[in-house]
Amino acid sequence: MIAAYGAGAVFTPYSAAKPVLDSYRDRLPEQLRNPNEAKWAAWTRAEDKSIRARLHQGELDSLANFVLFGASFTKQPRIKIDALSEANKSGLVQARIDDLVSGLRNPGENERLIFIRDLLRRDGIDPASAEAGKFIYSTLARNLQERRTLSERAAQAKPASILDRASVFYDRGLSLDTSILPDFSIDRTLADLKQRGILREGQVGRVAVIGPGLDFIDKNDESAFDYYPPQTLQPFAVYDSLLRLGLAQPGLSLSILDISPRVIDHIQRARERARKNVGYEIQLPHDVSRAWSPDLSGYWSSFGEHVGGAVKPARPPGIFSGLQTRAVRVRPDVVLSCEPADVNIVLQRLNLPASQRFDLIIATNIFVYYDPFEQALGLQNAGAMLRPGGLLLTNDKLPEIPSGVMRQAGVTVVSFDDRDPAARDAVGWYQRK
């Protein structure tokens, strides 16, 4: 069953935003002081543009991560963040940038090089020029400065609860990073909700994943891989978990809401291949030096069994030593039941009739990029797309509005490594009244 959305996304109507505007009366952006319908309409259009502009900055962050950790364009060793100044002095940073610029001249089939080439061109830089190397170096320097600022900010944050991540990325580029870990958190949360009787067998028919991301190359070296094409996991992971837990039946409809043209185009291309009966391959590398809980290892070993089957994994080059690998090919019918839509969850929603509202919405590692006012707006937009009693699962604490439709009903804490209490995630369940 494929959802049909007619006109697609609409901006949040003023009447729906009013309770949030009232709650944030003293902390509103300048243009929204003493708000009215016209000011709201003008602000949402301008804010939508500025949110979408943050995607470009996020792509430049991916470029910086690619310079440090990529192995598909160079034979030089990868650079760990704590060995960076040494690598700079020894000329290793420059050598990797030189190799990257040579790769950009002849990207061949390397999707990441093509992505970076187009990114530079959009900034008016000729990827084959000497200027390209300078631009990449300054992008890396800016990214490293930002990493320092973010870790200081995270160290100073005083979380009010286990779910609270204090919007630490509120002014950062919007990244597309994704991995298996948030999918495991959602899997365990769904199991918890089933065990508590909050979700029942076969109850979930309509699902949305907001911001599934694209694994281009991660910002953490231990999970930064580029030996397989960029991939998305979350829509298929959620589908897989729902079937395995018996919460949904095959044929459920899954909407993918995102603002990134990279993510939406990627899914559209997967759907075009699926129409020709070609499945979607997902590579699942696991660095064995990272301790995983038995639960997480078990999740990794059976990932995808309900949406496809195991296939031979791509062989990692020698530079990625100590990797355990698995790969899964998702069935074309599953790919075709995942339909993307361009929706900015902070400012927009799908105008769904009651019969088409979602039972479940998943949104991990997205609200941390927004300030509390934007989070409060996003929570109301998610609520408008849920049926009464429907759930939004997210790993951020979102501000509830007294007259709003969404309430936090609980939280599930998920451990990634039983020996390390810090290796965990918390997923809040927000329920529509």
By CB under 6 A, residue 212 contacts ligand SAM? yes
Q: How far apart are CA 118 and CA 107, in angstroms?
A: 11
Q: How far is the CB of 42 from ligand SAM (least distance, A)?
A: 19
Which residues, in sequence order, are CB contacts of 96 under 8 Å at separation 6+?
A: 67, 68, 70, 74, 76, 79
Q: How far apart are CA 324 and CA 283, in angstroms?
A: 11
Q: How far is the CB of 128 from ligand SAM (least distance, A)?
A: 29
Q: What is the DSSP letter of 317?
A: P
Q: How far is the CB of 213 from ligand SAM (least distance, A)?
A: 3
Residue written as token pair 């009903």:
409
* Interface stretch with ligand SAM, choices 37-45, 205-213, 303-311, 401-409 (CB under 6 A): 205-213
By CB under 6 A, residue 380 contacts ligand SAM? no
Q: How far apart are CA 161 and CA 163, in angstroms?
A: 5
Q: How far apart are CA 214 and CA 211, in angstroms?
A: 9
By CB under 6 A, residue 51 contacts ligand SAM? yes
Please name the residue ranges forming H helices in 157-260: 180-195, 234-244
By CB under 6 A, residue 65 contacts ligand SAM? no
By CB under 6 A, residue 174 contacts ligand SAM? yes
* Interface stretch with ligand SAM, choices 11-19, 33-41, 125-133, 259-267 (CB under 6 A): 259-267
Show the tokens assigned to 325: 């690998």
Q: Of 177 and 281, which has the nearer Cβ to ligand SAM?
A: 177
Q: How many residues bind ligand SAM (CB under 6 A)?
A: 24
Show the tokens assigned to 428: 């809040």
Q: How far apart are CA 383 and CA 405, in angstroms?
A: 6
Q: Of 51 and 136, which has the nearer Cβ to ligand SAM?
A: 51
* Interface stretch with ligand SAM, choices 12-20, 27-35, 177-185, 271-279 (CB under 6 A): 177-185
By CB under 6 A, residue 9 contacts ligand SAM? no
Of 94, 99, 68, nearest in space to 81 by CA: 68
Phi, psi dihedrals of residue 260, rounded to the nearest 5°: -85, 120
Q: What is the DSSP letter of 369?
A: G
Half-sphere exposure of 278 (CA within 13 A, CB side): 7
Q: Site for ligand SAM (CB under 6 A): which residue of 47, 59, 61, 177?
A: 177
Q: Of 96 and 271, which has the nearer Cβ to ligand SAM?
A: 271
By CB under 6 A, residue 70 contacts ligand SAM? no
Q: Site for ligand SAM (CB under 6 A): which residue of 223, 231, 344, 415?
A: 344
Q: How far is the CB of 248 from ligand SAM (least distance, A)?
A: 19
By CB under 6 A, residue 182 contacts ligand SAM? yes
Q: Of 73 and 292, which has the nearer Cβ to ligand SAM?
A: 292
Q: Site for ligand SAM (CB under 6 A): which residue of 334, 345, 382, 391?
A: 345
Q: How far apart are CA 408 and CA 323, in angstroms?
A: 39
Q: What angle do CA 353, 2, 405 make, to 5 degrees?
A: 35
Instruction: Give 3-state DSSP helix, strand, coil % of the chain, rounded to 5.
Output: 45, 20, 35
By CB under 6 A, residue 44 contacts ligand SAM? no
Q: How far apart are CA 285 and CA 289, in angstroms?
A: 12
By CB under 6 A, residue 260 contacts ligand SAM? yes
By CB under 6 A, residue 235 contacts ligand SAM? no
Write the burial class of residue 412 (CB in 10 Å: 0-12 exposed, 13-18 middle, 19+ buried): buried
Q: Site for ligand SAM (CB under 6 A): which residue of 47, 218, 258, 359?
A: 258
Q: How far is the CB of 197 from ligand SAM (least distance, A)?
A: 27
Q: How far is the CB of 349 from ligand SAM (least distance, A)?
A: 11
Which positions touch ligand SAM (CB under 6 A)?
A: 51, 174-178, 182, 210-213, 234, 257-260, 263, 344-346, 364-366, 369
